[in-house]
Structure 1
Amino acid sequence: MSFVSSRTESWPYASYHRRLFLIGGLGYAFDAMDTAVLAFILPVLRSLWSLSSAQTGVLGSVAYIGFFFGALGAGLLGDVFGRRRVMMYALAIYAAASLASAWSTSWSMFLVLRIIAGIGTGAESAIIAPYLAEFVAKRYRGTFVGALTGFFSFGFVAAAALGYFVVRSCAEGWRVVLIITALPVGMLLWWRRSLDESPRWLESRGRHAEARAIIAKIESTFDQRTPSSDTAAEAAAASGKDLGRPSLNVLLQGLWHGRQARVTTMAWLMWLSLTFSYYLFFTWIPGLLMQKGMGITQSFGYSFIIYLAQIPGYFSAALLNEKIGRKGTIVLYMTMGTAFALAMAFAHDHQAILLAGACLSFAMNGAYAGVYAYTAEIFPTAIRAIGAGSSSAVGRIGAISAPLLVGLLYPVLGFGGVFAMTTVVLAAGVCAVILLGPQTTGLSLEAISAEEGSP
């Protein structure tokens, strides 16, 4: 066990971790709020700019085009330049572009700005979990990351509230909402300046002196003493040299080295399945409810209740991450999601749609609490960011295609056909995790890497 690993695994859950939890969680909340509010803006923009169903679907997908490049870029740059720097730049890009989009005067202008904002949001979302997971011990890592991603639910609920109370309140309500979602990010950007670079990443790059300095700084904030470190590990750390920056080719090869190839395949399929289904549902649900005969007030009200179901979904799964393991949690919640998507396909009256939709929201968000924690563990430190970033990027292919497919296929398949498609995709994801996914519960990050064949 390395010096950083031995120290980190001895740490209690302290005020330092609670601060990380809040800073990272707020980032997820703002990301989700900015993304989710688009679902409430789309019906307004469709009418305002006389958009076709296909054009509306393109607007629903463009942010995820940005997500794809942002997540992939964050993965590559996070392993080369460090997690903290990437996260800071990502947040700044997202805030600036999101704020600018409030002054859009045409479909094309809004399209471009949402792509740029999506680059920042995608990078931010991809880097937070693997970055912060490197600061916590194995005994609470699953709950920590699972609960961290639970902040997504607060962002979605806030977006639904903004949609219900602000978007429909006046003709320019959609612009006001975009300003509201972007401005608080400035505060978070200022707050994050105090964050430390990951000592695990520094150690993986041979920058042992910097890693040891951060470890000492963090431990000085604890109320209790941690066990003394191993002198042999300290000596090995002190003698290390800076390994320099790895090449892109080395990072990508690491994803497909030995048994890691199976893990990478599983992660990509898991993210693709869940993200496709998730954004098919949440991007279009207000619009689909309106096309089922609901008025805008009833549609937004139902959407608000459906979004509220995310909160118990995330946090119940965060607790199960340690009790039944990340793999078990993902399989359980994705299986429930498959069943509820099928129920949604056969729901006809408004009350049945509301119940099935709330249950589907609960299940898919619970699955994400497991997925984020799992993805942050199954890749070695040297390629953790590119592993998580590439998985998230592949998932964004699902996010890009889902709104487009709904826009094109809803006139042919109808409401039931859309959710029948969701059922099949979720079931495929469950099979991938069951057949290919490793167990990670109770293991340090280094132990997991050793089992899967670290590059």
Structure 2
Amino acid sequence: MTTNPLDDAPLSPFHKKLALFSSGGPFLDGYVLSIIGVAMAQLTGQWHLDATEQGLIGASTLLGILLGAFAGGYLTDLFGRKMLFTIDLVAIIAFSAAQFFVGDVVWLIVLRLLIGVAVGADYPIATSLLAEFAPRKYRGPLLGLYVTMWFVGAAAAYIFGEMLTNLGPDGWRWMLASAALPALLIVLARIGTPESPRWLASRGRIDEANAVLRQVYGEGVSIADLPDEVKENLNVRALLRSGYGGRMLFIAVFWTASIIPLFAVYAFAPAILGALHLDGDMAQWGSALITVMFMVGCVIAVFVVNRMGRRPLMIHSFLWSGVALALLGLFPGAPTAIVMVLFIGYATLIGGTQIMQWVYPNELFPTEIRGSAVGLASSLSRIGAAVGTFLVPVALNSLGIGTTMLIAAGITLFGAAISVFWAPETRGLSLSESASLAGAAAQPAGARKLVRS
């Protein structure tokens, strides 16, 4: 295993601050997607919204994220990480604040769509920057902690949404505009973040790359210590050709297998709360508590990702969370305590697949196309999220909770199967080693075949 100053650097205050500021994207994603659910309770009655209008308002942000993630990835590969790291959050501030003054459904849908585009764009921008600075020993945990902030944002939305409800009939306006405040704090914190030296080197801007390396790592460190970072000559079309197309297929399949059941469980949560006789204000607090369960699972996965390795964590996370869903499906009439234990078990165990949604895309693609790869993977995941959001209510009404949970279990266990055949092990590799197609030699037989296809 080769060593270099970036991949083998100690975890510094710079890395910790970058990880914290980068996680603003998923925080805002969780916040804006959850706050609309609280706001709709007031907005629906005031504007007399029908089911179609409610659906369009809710789905517009997801559609925006789908569009923004790939666009942001392409642009960050083209223009760099630093500039877009700030611009996308400025857009979120402007569009969120504008929601306070919105007067009709069409403009609200447009603004929610634009917010989604900006939030989606931040994913490939921020994770690419974080992955390219993070030492190999800490890369998995730092990228894993990144995703936990989605659940923090969602829980915050439920809490602040409930507080802002007390402001009267215009409470929903304050709820939707409130996302501008954390976005402003995040953008101020991001000011001064340096450009990725790996991206600068890939563009031939060696002097600038060396200046950043000296700023972050000290004198004596230069891009000459990372000669393998400038050997590739790739573009976004490489995502769909050669070995990188196979890697993208693996990521798209496992991410979809993880996200669809996750949304199914979110749909199942109200039924659990009803069984516990939680309604009104308590339902909001209960939803926040359930969201925290998913966050706890991600945090646990962060602490074991290096100890277990990427591949075993993926397989076990899919397998045992699938078992929990299967038991929920087989025994939907079980006592409330048992249902809650199974629900908590799923929320905790699925955390491994959740953090790998950000670890694998950043580790399996080279600098030139890393942002585009992360963006495309994130966009594809939103298709799965939309499918889950649309089909779960239909399945609950036509098939019932038991069958719906069995379907979710089947999808999750399918994720375990494809992980057995395709998931590579990237623990301990430098970023250039894990992204190189030559690294396939150390992967499982199924993964070797996939990444070379």
Name which of 141, 145, 148 aligns with 1:147. 145
* Cα distance in structure 1, aligned partners of 2:48 and 2:110: 18
Name which of 363, 376, 386 aligns with 2:349. 363
Partner of 1:427: 413
Partner of 1:111: 109
* Cα distance in structure 1, aligned partners of 2:261 and 2:43: 24
1:445 is aligned to 2:431? yes
Name which of 30, 36, 39 aligns with 2:37. 39
* Cα distance in structure 2, aligned partners of 1:296 and 1:160: 12
Name which of 321, 329, 338 aligns with 2:313. 329
Amino acid corresponding to residue 4 of structure 2 in structure 1: S
Name which of 277, 296, 300 aligns with 1:316. 300
* Cα distance in structure 2, aligned partners of 1:127 and 1:120: 11
Partner of 1:203: 201
* Cα distance in structure 2, aligned partners of 1:33 and 1:178: 10
**Larger displacement relative to structure 2 (69-78 or 296-305):** 296-305
* Cα distance in structure 2, aligned partners of 1:276 and 1:306: 17
* Cα distance in structure 2, aligned partners of 1:288 and 1:198: 46
SS in 2 for 1:183: helix
Name which of 255, 258, 271 aligns with 1:271. 255
Amino acid corresponding to residue 314 of structure 2 in structure 1: I
Cα 1:145–1:59, aligned 2, differ >3 Å: closer, same or farther?
same
SS in 2 for 1:440: coil
Q: After superposition, what is the alpha-carbon deviation per residue over 1:350-397, rounded to whole angstroms, capped at 9, x for unaligned?
A: 555544433333333442123212221011111111111101110011
* Cα distance in structure 2, aligned partners of 1:132 and 1:174: 35
Partner of 1:81: 79
C-alpha contact (below 8 Å) 1:153/1:311 kept by paired residues: yes
Cα 1:87–1:431, aligned 2, differ >3 Å: closer, same or farther?
farther
Partner of 1:373: 359
Cα 1:52–1:454, aligned 2, differ >3 Å: closer, same or farther?
same
Aligned ranges for residues 338-357 of structure 1 at < 5 Å? Answer: 338-345=322-329, 346-348=331-333, 351-357=337-343
Amino acid corresponding to residue 296 of structure 1 in structure 2: G
* Cα distance in structure 1, aligned partners of 2:327 and 2:168: 35
Amino acid corresponding to residue 188 of structure 2 in structure 1: W
**Larger displacement relative to structure 2 (416-425 or 9-18):** 416-425
Cα deviation for residue 129 of structure 1 reads: 1.7
C-alpha contact (below 8 Å) 1:153/1:314 kept by paired residues: no
Partner of 1:259: 243
Cα 1:58–1:364, aligned 2, differ >3 Å: closer, same or farther?
farther
Aligned ranges for residues 4-403 of structure 1 at < 5 Å? Answer: 6-53=4-51, 55-167=53-165, 170-220=168-218, 233=224, 251-282=235-266, 285-286=269-270, 295-345=279-329, 346-348=331-333, 351-403=337-389
SS in 1 for 2:416: helix
Q: After superposition, what is the alpha-carbon deviation per residue over 1:176-209, rounded to whole angstroms, capped at 9, x for unaligned?
A: 2222222221122122121111111111122111
Aligned-residue identity in percent:
24
Cα 1:23–1:334, aligned 2, differ >3 Å: closer, same or farther?
same
Amino acid corresponding to residue 441 of structure 1 in structure 2: R
C-alpha contact (below 8 Å) 1:46/1:56 kept by paired residues: yes
* Cα distance in structure 2, aligned partners of 1:404 and 1:92: 31
* Cα distance in structure 1, aligned partners of 2:94 and 2:452: 38
**Larger displacement relative to structure 2 (429-438 or 203-212):** 429-438
Amino acid corresponding to residue 161 of structure 1 in structure 2: I
Q: After superposition, what is the alpha-carbon deviation per residue over 1:65-124, rounded to whole angstroms, capped at 9, x for unaligned?
A: 001101010111111111222232221222222232244444333222111111011111
SS in 2 for 1:109: helix
Amino acid corresponding to residue 69 of structure 2 in structure 1: A
TM-score, normalised relative to structure 2: 0.86
C-alpha contact (below 8 Å) 2:278/2:286 kept by paired residues: no
C-alpha contact (below 8 Å) 1:318/1:370 kept by paired residues: no
Paired residues in the alignment total 438
Q: After superposition, what is the alpha-carbon deviation per residue over 1:31-65, rounded to whole angstroms, capped at 9, x for unaligned?
A: 32222223333444444444455544443322110
Cα 1:115–1:280, aligned 2, differ >3 Å: closer, same or farther?
farther
SS in 1 for 2:363: coil
Q: After superposition, what is the alpha-carbon deviation per residue over 1:199-239, rounded to whole angstroms, capped at 9, x for unaligned?
A: 1111112211111110001123xxxx8xx6589x36979xx
C-alpha contact (below 8 Å) 1:57/1:404 kept by paired residues: no
TM-score, normalised relative to structure 1: 0.85
Cα 1:100–1:235, aligned 2, differ >3 Å: closer, same or farther?
closer
Point out where structure 2 has 5 or more consecutive residues left out of the alignment: 441-450
C-alpha contact (below 8 Å) 2:214/2:222 kept by paired residues: no
SS in 2 for 1:195: coil
SS in 2 for 1:379: coil
